[in-house]
Amino acid sequence: MNAHTKAILDQLDAHYGREYICYLNHENAWQLLIATMLSAQCTDARVNIVTKDLFVKYPSVEAFAEADLKELEQDIRPTGFYHNKAKNIIACCQRLMALHGGEVPSGLEELTALPGVGRKTANVIRGNIFHEPSVVVDTHVKRISKKLGLTKEDDPEKVEYELMKVLPKDHWILYNIQIITLGRTICKAPTPKCGECFLTEWCKDYQNRQKKESRKKK
């Protein structure tokens, strides 16, 4: 790990601590799996409102596997893209019942073989449930990592591999939690609050913009 990366991680630890926080409410692996699938293009806060009743109505993987598609669509409608999400959730739970005895597997390949489960969702499960070091690349992580100069990639999977190279394993899950907090409070898109940010000294994007401004003034 180079000095630039270490300085960023030290600042993140100092401001946000090293506690593992999951913003999606869940009591077990399958609930987190479904909540993460629902969180695509939707806020965690809205997902938590929906799942509060959803997990009462459907109390098991089997219940979701046997759900009526049209009914489930209406149950999850507030999360958006509900046609696709409902179809994937039912198919995913049917596969869990058929191949895994209703249990959520821990392997990346087994998880990504489930309908509607990509690397991001799989890594959320692996990190939060099975405590397997994993890098979760969501919109905040992709955007802010590029600003900080930790990656030059745009493809989430390529960003994941780059971050795995530059971040120590004990920060893989932690980094995601910290960057989400930063992205929601300070480094917002499209209007970041750079004046409030504690990372401007190490932010390549901020430094480049400052240089351009100083050149204009000359």
> Which residues are known to be catalytic?
120, 138
Number of residues assigned to the chain: 218
Contacts of 47 (CB under 8 A, 6+ apart): 24, 35, 38, 39, 79
What is residue 206's three-state secondary structure?
helix
- In whole angstroms, what separates CA 139 from the centre of its chain? 8
Cα-flanking dihedrals φ and ψ of residue 151, to 5°? -150, 155
**Residue 162 near residue 151 (C-beta atoms within 8 A):** yes
At 83, list the tokens. 């046609």
Q: How far apart are CA 118 and CA 218, in angstroms?
A: 49
Please give the angle made by the CA atoms of 60, 66 and 70, to the nearest 5 degrees: 115
